[in-house]
Structure 1
Amino acid sequence: MAHDVFLSYSREDTDAMHRVRDALHAAGIAVWTDDNLTPGTPAWESAIARAIESSRVLVVLLSPDSRRSTWVGRELAYAEEHGIRILPLLIRGDERESVPFRLTNTQRLDGRRDFDRAVTRMTKALEQYLGKEDAPPIQTARSSADSASSSRVIRIGAIVALVAVLAVIIAVVLTVFVFDLFGTETTILVGHDDSVLSVAFSPDDERLLSGSRDTTLRLWDAIDGRAIRIFEGHTSPVTDVAFTPDGTMAVSSSLDDSLILWDVNSGEPLRIFEGHSDAVNAVAVSPDGQTLLSASADRTLILWNINTGAIIRTFTGHTGRILDVAISPDGHTALSAGSDKLVIQWDVNSGQMIRQLNAHESAVRGVAFSPDGQTAISGAADGTIILWDVVGGGMIRTFTGHDSGVLGVAFNVDNERIVSASSDDTVILWDVDSGAIIKRFRDHTANVNTVAFDADGLRFASGGNDDTVRVWDVP
C-alpha cells in the first residue's frame, strides 16, 4: 500500500510523533508509522523497507535521541538511496546534538519554540507538494439521480469558486505559499499600491506591519499572510514602522515630517508627533516603551515622550540627512546612520555624542544593534556591511557580496546571523563570525528596501519596490 509520508522518529519522541501523525491525518495525508509493530523483528525491518519505498516523503523528527538512533540513521540512508524526499522537523535539543551530519545542509522546520506552528507549516508544505490542497472529500456510492444532481451542484460550485477567485484577484489581496522541501518557505503579501519601505514583526510574532510609499501602513497576520487592516493618516510615504514592546501600539515615520502613534487593534491614530523641519526617515521605540527616537533629513534626532508627545531632547552632530536609527537593548545608547557616511553612537540620557564610527565610503542607510548590545552592524550605499564593536568603538569585519547599495540590515536573536536588503534586488543571510554568505534570496523583482527578523529568529520579512512583503523561514 502506498503512503504519502513515512514518519521516522526515536522511541523517546513517541508523543511528538503522535501529534505530527494526527495533524497529517487530519489534513488527509496518509502516514506510515511503526507503532503497531514489534521493533527488531524481521517482519518489522521488512515492513520499514517496504513503507519507505512506497512513500513520497520521509518526515524525520530531529532530537538528540533520534540523532543517536541507529534505526533513524538507517531509515534516512534508505530513503536517500531510493530518492525519497526528506523533510526534517527539529523538535528539541540544539542543532549540533540533534541534526545528523547528512542533514546539515537540508532545509528543516524548527518546532522547538512553537511546535504546533511548525507542524502547521509542515502540513501546508506537504499538502502543496503532494497535491492535496484541493483534494475532494471521500464519497460513498450514490444513485444515478444523486450523481446528476451532484454534477449540477459541482458545476454551480465551480462557477461560484471562479467568481470568488476573480474577486480576490481584483481586490489584489493575495497570499502565495511556496515551499521547496530543500529550499525555503516564502509567504508573499500583496496589497500595497507602491514600494514597501519598512516592515516590523509584533513582539509575539503573530502580526506583521508594513509601511509604504503609498502613504499607508498595513497590518498582516504573520502566520497565514491574511490582511487585517489598513492604517491611513500620513500624507506622504511611510518610511519606517515599529511596534511598542507590548504590541498594543505602533509608530510610523513619514516624509510628511511627522510621526504617528497608532492603536494596533483599531487602526486609529492616537497621537501625532510634530517637531522635525524635514522628512522623518526612521524611528525606534525604547525597550521600556516610554520614548521614541526619530531620525530626520533635518540632520537631527529627537527623543519624544510617547505618552504625551512632548520633545525630551534633540541630538545634533550629523552634517547630512539622518537615514536610520536604533536604540540599544538596554536603552542607554543609540546609533544613527547618515548621508554624511557616518554612524554616530549617542548617550540617550544626555543626548551627547559618544563616538563617530567612520569607515563607510558613502551614505549609511541602515543600522542595527546585536541582541546582546555588544556589537552593531551598518549597511551603506557602497554595498558593504560593517560589524562594529560598540563597546570599544572598533571595526570588527566587513561583509561584501551585494552588487549595489545596502538599504536595510537586521540582527538575528542568536547574535550569529544577520540579514541585509539591497538595491541589487536581493536579500542576503550572513554568518556573523565568518562574514560568509549563508544564502542569497533573489525572489524580489526590484530594490529590496527593508528587512526584519521576528522575535524568535525563525523568520524574517523583507519589503521592496515590487510593492510586496515577503516572509521567509530562516534556513
Structure 2
Amino acid sequence: MAHDVFISYSSRNTEFAEAVCEKLEDNGIECWIAPRNIKTGTNYAKEIMDGLDLAKMVVLVFSKDAQDSEYVNNEIDTAFSNNKPIVSFKVDDSFPKNKMEFFLKNTQWLDASPSTLKEKNKTLESCYDQLVKDVRRILEKVENGEVFGYEHTPTPVIPHKEKGFFEKYKLPIIGIVLVLIAVTGFMLFSGMGNDSSADETNETGISIGYVGLEDYGDNNYAYFVFGTIDGNLSNSSDDVIHIDYYDDAGKIVDSSDTKIADIEGNILGSIDVTKKDVSKVSVELQDKKGKVLYSLESDNIIEQ
C-alpha cells in the first residue's frame, strides 16, 4: 500500500528517526519506517526496497552514522535514481561527502545539528515543525503531478565546510604520488620477467566488499553481504550465489541462495537473525546443477 514518506536512517539514530516519524504522523503524514513496517518472517532487503518504491518521497535522518551506512547509501541512491524528492534532516555536525554529497547536493536540507541550534538559538522541536511544513509542501507538488527532477528542486540549504589546502587539492596530489609510485615500480621490476607465483585473477568477476550488520531492535538483526558482480554475469539466470554464514565455532548459522539475474545493487545475499552471531561468510558461485565454479570468504563484518 502506498504511503507518503519513507524514513531512511542509521540504527544508531533510531531516537531521531522515531521522533521524525511521530511528528509527521501526528500531522496526518503517513510514514514507512523499519523495523515497524517490516512483516515478520519476510526478507528485510526486499521489504525495504518495496517500502521505498511505494513512497512518494524520502526523509533522510542525516548524520555521520548514516553517511557511513552502506545500507542508507543504497536507499538514497535508489531514491535519487527514481527521482523521488529527498529532504535531509541533519542531526549532527558532520558534512556530506563522496557519493552522499553527490546525491544530496541539490536536495532540500533542514539543519538540526547541535551547533546550528545553539548558534541560531533554535529548538529541536521547531526543526520538527519546519520539517512538517516542508514535507507537506513537497507532497502537494507530487500529488499535483509535478515532476520532481533535481534540476528544479527547492533552493538547497546543504551545509558546506570550508576545505583546507590539502583537501582542496588532494586528488591531484594523490594522482601525482600514484604516478611516481607506478614509475618507480616499473623501473625497479622491468626486465625481471613474469612471476609465476603472482595471484590468480578472479575470472568470475565476483568480489566481496564487506558484510554489513543492521540492528533493527527487539533482537531483530540482518546480515547483508555487499560485493560486486561483473556485468557479463548479470545476464545469467542459472548461476547462483550461495552464501554460508558461520559463527565463531565454525558452525553454519544460516545460508542464502540468490540467482545472479535477481541480484539488485551491491547486495549478494542476506539473512535475518535474532542474535549477532555471524563472524565469517563463504560465498560460492554455483551453476544450476550445484557445481561450485568459484568460492571466496570474508570476515569483514561492519555494524551499520
TM class by smaller structure: 0.3 to 0.5
Instruction: Name which one, 1 or 2, has greater alpha-carbon Rg.
Output: 1
TM-score by length of 2: 0.41
Q: More helix per residue: 1 or 2?
A: 2
Q: More strand per residue: 1 or 2?
A: 1
TM-score by length of 1: 0.27
Which of structures 1 and 2 has the larger relative contact order (alpha carbons within 8 angstroms, sep 6+)?
A: 2
